[in-house]
Amino acid sequence: MGSIFSFEDGFLFLRSIQLLGIIVIVSIDVYQCYITMLTEIVEKPGLIRSGQVSLKVNGNPVQLNLLPWVSLLDAIRDHAGLTGTKKGCDHGQCGACTVICDGKRIVSCLTLAVMKDGSEITTIEGVAPEGDLHPLQKAFIEHDAFQCGYCTPGQICSAIGMMKEGKAKSREEVKELMSGNLCRCGANTNIIDAIMEVQNQDAHE
């Protein structure tokens, strides 16, 4: 019995439908038409149009010639060559790609570079003047707030954005508002310790 992958699962499901006693006709044809239709659409010639995207990244103007389907994350990494921003899921589920866009922390994987034409982006490479470290970067080192280091750029950019928002005061609030940044090594307590230290310093200034 030969068919495209997905159809087989349809048969499997038919077994389940029978159990329910519901008569449903699983229309393989509908599915097949859909697939055919889809490929026709996407292959329509002349559709691929690249365009100029201007960004200001870490204070530097960057002109990129990009196809519309390039995410801001891939534009930063593959086109602007700044690989400090990390891809951990590409679906907004981990926070590793967090950058500061026009003053706000966002996940750069879930937006298109073309949508951010004209925006100012700060990545981990630009959070402190060259040769200097941001207080959060220092605190992360001191508190051992990372192990593998992969989530770190996102954690730091996110914490900078969070402190700018000014909504998190208590440790519990910081934990909640930093929960969009996963850490698989389990450096969580050290990360929050580092952030609280900088936040408390700022509060005293």
Partner 1 sequence: MEASQKQVGQPLSRLEGQLKVTGTAKYSGDYQVPGLLYGYVINSTITKGKITRLDTGRAKAVPGIVEVFTYENRPSLAWFDLQYADMDAPPGSPFRPLQDEEILYNGQPIGLVVAESFELARYGATLVEVECEEEAFETDLRKEASKARSPKIGMATMLKPLPPRPKGKFEKAYQESPAQVSAEYYHGTEHHNPLELFATTTIYEGDGKLTIYDKTQGTINSQLYVSNIFGLKYKDVRVISPYVGGAFGSALRPQYQLFLSVMAALELKQSVLVTLDRQQMFTFGHRPPTIQQTRFSADMDGKVTAMNHLAIGETSRFEDYTEVVVNWSHMLYPAANTLMQYKLVELDVYSPLDMRSPGGSTGMHAIESTMDELAYKTKIDPLQLRLINYSEDDVSLNRPYSSKELRQCYLQGAERFGWDKRSPEPRSMRRGNKLVGYGMATGIWEANQLPAKADAILTTDGKLRVNSAVTDIGTGTLTVMTQIAADELGMKIEDVEFLYGDSKKPFAPIQGGSFTVSTVGSAVKVAGAALKKKLFSIAKKMKDSVFSKADLKEVVFEDSRIFLRSDRSKSVSFLEIIEANGGKPIKVSKFSVPSLLKQKKYSRATHSAAFVEVEVDEQLGIVNVTRAITAVAAGKIINPKTARSQILGGMIWGISKALREETIQDFNLGKYMNQNLAEYHIPVHADIHELDVIFVEENDEIVNALGVKGVGEIGLVAMPPAIANAIYHATGKRINQLPIHFDSLL
Partner 2 sequence: MNNFDYLKAGDIQDAIGKSGSCTDSSYIGGGTNLLDLMKYDLAHPTTLIDINHAGTQDAVTETENGGLRLSAFATNADTAWHPLIEEKYPLLSKAILAGASAQIRNMATNGGNLLQRTRCYYFYDANVPCNKREPGSGCSAILGYNRIMAILGTSEHCIAVFPSDMCIALAALEATVNVEGPNGPRSIVFADFHRLPGDTPELDNNLLPGEIITSIDLPPQGFSDNYSYLKLRDRNSYAFALVSVATGLELDGDIIRNARIALGGVAHKPWRVPEAEEFLVGKAASEENFAQAADIILRGATGYQYNDFKIELAKRAIIRNGMMALHPETQLPGALPSA
- Of 24-32, 113-121, 133-141, 196-204, the window that binds partner 1 (rule: CB under 8 A) is 133-141
- Tell me if 186 sits within 8 A of 148, measured CB to CB: no
- Strand-pair category, 120-122 with 51-57: parallel
Write the CA distances from 62 to 24, 65, 165, 199, integer angstroms: 55, 10, 27, 32
State the CB neighbour count (10 A cutoff) for residue 135: 17
Work out how close the CB of 180 gets to partner 1 at its nearest, in angstroms, rounded to a whole number.
Answer: 8
Site for partner 1, residues 69 to 108, rule: CB under 8 A: 69-70, 74, 77-78, 81-91, 93-94, 96
Q: Give the span between the Cα atoms of 73 and 55, in whole angstroms.
A: 13
104 binds partner 2 (CB under 8 A): yes
- How many residues form the binding site for partner 2 (CB under 8 A)? 59
Residue 23, contacted partner among partner 1, partner 2, none, CB below 5-8 A by kind:
none
196 binds partner 2 (CB under 8 A): no
Q: Give the span between the Cα atoms of 7 and 52, in whole angstroms.
A: 42
User: Which is closer to partner 1, CB of 117 or CB of 125?
Assistant: 125
H or E segment to which residue 52 belongs:
strand 51-57
Residue 133, contacted partner among partner 1, partner 2, none, CB below 5-8 A by kind:
partner 1
125 binds partner 1 (CB under 8 A): yes
Residue 62 in 3-state DSSP?
Answer: strand
Write the CA distances from 88 to 71, 73, 95, 106, 132, integer angstroms: 14, 11, 8, 14, 27
- Of 8-16, 54-62, 125-133, 193-201, the window that binds partner 2 (rule: CB under 8 A) is 8-16
Work out how close the CB of 163 gets to partner 2 at its nearest, in angstroms, rounded to a whole number.
Answer: 12
- Tell me if 98 sits within 8 A of 181, measured CB to CB: yes
Binding site for partner 2 (CB under 8 A): 5-6, 9-10, 13-14, 16-17, 19-20, 22, 24-27, 30-31, 34, 38, 41-42, 44, 47-49, 51, 67-69, 71, 90-92, 95, 98, 104-107, 110-112, 114-115, 158, 161-162, 165, 167, 172-173, 175-182
